[in-house]
Amino acid sequence: MASGTTTPTPAPGTAAAAFDKASEVYERMTGGCTREVAKFLLTLDPKVDSSSVILDNACGTGLVTEEIIQQFSDDAKPKIFAADLAPSMIANFEAKAKGRGWIVDGAADDDSALAVSVMDAENLTYPDNMFTHSYTNLGFPFFSNGEKAAGHVHRTLRPGGAAFICTWKTLGYLRPLHAAQRAVRPTSTLWEPPMPKDWYTQEKLAHVVVAAGFQREKIRILTKSVGYRGKDLEDLLDILRTGFLGQVTNGWSEEEKEHWLKELTNALTEEEKESASLEMIAWIAIAQK
């Protein structure tokens, strides 16, 4: 259950504040790609079992937690602690968790499979050496201080435990977004998400994990290709329109916005139109303490 004597809130203008506003539509706006990464993480060794104590760090709407719990029967679930700085993300996740019986109203945290908290990943308040598994699914590129957040991941992980930390290598939606923007306003500055450029690199991910205290020889880094998908082409275009129109065309005329939407369709390849999917590639670091 949500806990803590004070409730941190995301600073205005930060990525966390944006995620907080978008909590109810978050998974749709990600085109399912973050859930696909979450599923893949759980196939990697060391896998969780019923004795695991797990941190779902920067948990968002709880995709990692949900995928873990679905693997276990009601009487053999591992213990999961989930935390995120965005209050609305946590509120929506907690309501879903209570509805599914993962959190029992009035019960102590120890009596539920899941404990959920509003908590800053850069200032985790969990004790040292608490977790056997720590998952941060694509949160690090949006932290203001990745090294500090990684230090808390290392601190709260048990010796021998494993941390799974991801960033994006390729955002498949950027190419069509940029192509459509160029078609309408050729000289405009191309829109970019609030993700520093160095976070697209393997080197940045490795640096942050090593700086946290993990030994380089105990770190593996791999890639995973996933899809930013719609149910069909019309749905994919609607996701892109809903997610990016207001950001990419901020300050444009209505005529320019309509032109951009038409050019967005033209910017997709025939394969992308047929599959209603854009390729996203994640970097994944698996680090053992």
| Confidence at 145, pLDDT banded by 50, 70, 90 | very high
| pLDDT value, residue 103 | 85
pTM (two decimals): 0.89
Q: Is the pLDDT of residue 67 over 60?
A: yes
Residues 6+ apart with CB under 8 A from 281: 168, 169, 170, 172, 223, 224, 225, 226
The answer to whether 196 and 141 have CB atoms below 8 angstroms apart is: yes
Q: Is the pLDDT of residue 281 over 80?
A: yes
Given the DSSP bridges, would you call strands 277-288 and 219-229 parallel, antiparallel or unpaired? Answer: antiparallel
How do residues 2-60 score in pLDDT, each as one tens digit? 333 345 655 544 444 444 444 446 778 899 999 999 999 999 999 999 999 999 999 99
Torsion angles phi and psi, residue 59, rounded to 5: -70, -20
Instruction: Tell me which residue has tokens 């290709």.
Output: 225
| pLDDT value, residue 3 | 38
Residues 6+ apart with CB under 8 A from 26: 19, 60, 61, 89
| pLDDT value, residue 106 | 55
For the ranges 18-22, 76-80, 123-127, the lowest mean pLDDT is seen at: 18-22
Given the DSSP bridges, would you call strands 114-118 and 131-136 parallel, antiparallel or unpaired? Answer: unpaired
Instruction: Tell me the longest C-alpha to C-alpha distance in the chain.
Output: 60
Torsion of CA 139, 47, 96, 5, to 10 degrees: -60
CB-count exposure of residue 43 (10 Å: 0-12, 13-18, 19+)? exposed
The answer to whether 194 and 15 have CB atoms below 8 angstroms apart is: yes
Tokens of 112: 């539920």
The answer to whether 130 and 98 have CB atoms below 8 angstroms apart is: no
Q: Which amino acid is at 54?
A: I
For residue 74, count other CB atoms closer than 10 A to its CB. 9
Looking at 171-256, which runs of residues are DSSP E strands? 219-229
Instruction: Sketch out the chain's domains with CATH numbers.
Output: 15-171+193-230+278-288 (3.40.50.150)
Tokens of 168: 């994006």
d(CA 3, CA 12): 23
Higher pLDDT, 187 or 113: 187
| pLDDT value, residue 235 | 96
How do residues 170-225 score in pLDDT, each as one tens digit? 999 999 999 999 999 999 999 999 999 999 999 999 999 999 999 999 999 999 99
Torsion angles phi and psi, residue 83, rounded to 5: -145, 145
